[in-house]
Amino acid sequence: MWCHHAETAPLVFRDTIWNHRVTFLQERVLTKWTTCTIWNAGKQGRKLYRSLSPANQKKITAFCDVDENKIKKGYYTYEESEERPKPRIPVRHFKDSSPPYIVCVKLDMTGGVLEENLHSLNLEEGRDYFHFS
C-alpha cells in the first residue's frame, strides 16, 4: 500500500508505482482469470501487456478499443519479445470482444463515454472487469 503525501511525491518514481500496481494486478486479479482482454490498444494498454509476466501475457486474448485506426490495423505485435514468431494480439472493437477486461483507460479522460460503453455491455466491476489506470 502506498499513500501520497505532497512531501514524498518527488521521491517516488513513476515506474516504481507502476511496477507495484502491475504486481498487485498479477497477484490479485490475473491469478483468478484464465483469459482476459485489455481495454485499450493504445500506449498504456500496450505498456501493461509488456509489463506482465510471460504466463500472464499468454492469458491476453485481445485488446479492445474504440479507435477505428487501431481496430483497422487488426493486431498488436510485441516486437521486443524473444518468442518466435513474435506474439500478435488481435485488436477488436469493444462490442466484438469478450470479458473479463483489464480496463486501462483513465475515467476522467473520456467524458463519461468509457462508463457508458461498460454499462452498455452490462458488466460488473470486480467480476467482468478490473479498472487499472
Q: What tens-digit pLDDT sequence spans the chain (133 residues)?
A: 556 566 655 566 888 899 999 999 999 999 999 999 999 999 999 999 999 999 999 999 999 999 999 999 999 999 999 999 999 999 999 999 999 999 999 878 889 999 999 999 999 999 999 999 7
DSSP the chain: -----TTTGGGS-HHHHHHHHHHHHHHHTGGG-S-EEEE--SHHHHHHHHHS-HHHHTTEEEEEES-HHHHHH-EEE-TT--SSSPPEEEEEEGGG--S-EEE-S-GGGTTTHHHHHHHHTT--BTTTEEE--
Domain ranges of the chain: 29-131
CATH architecture under which domain 29-131 falls: 3-Layer(aba) Sandwich (3.40)
Distance CA 119, CA 129 (A): 11
pTM: 0.90
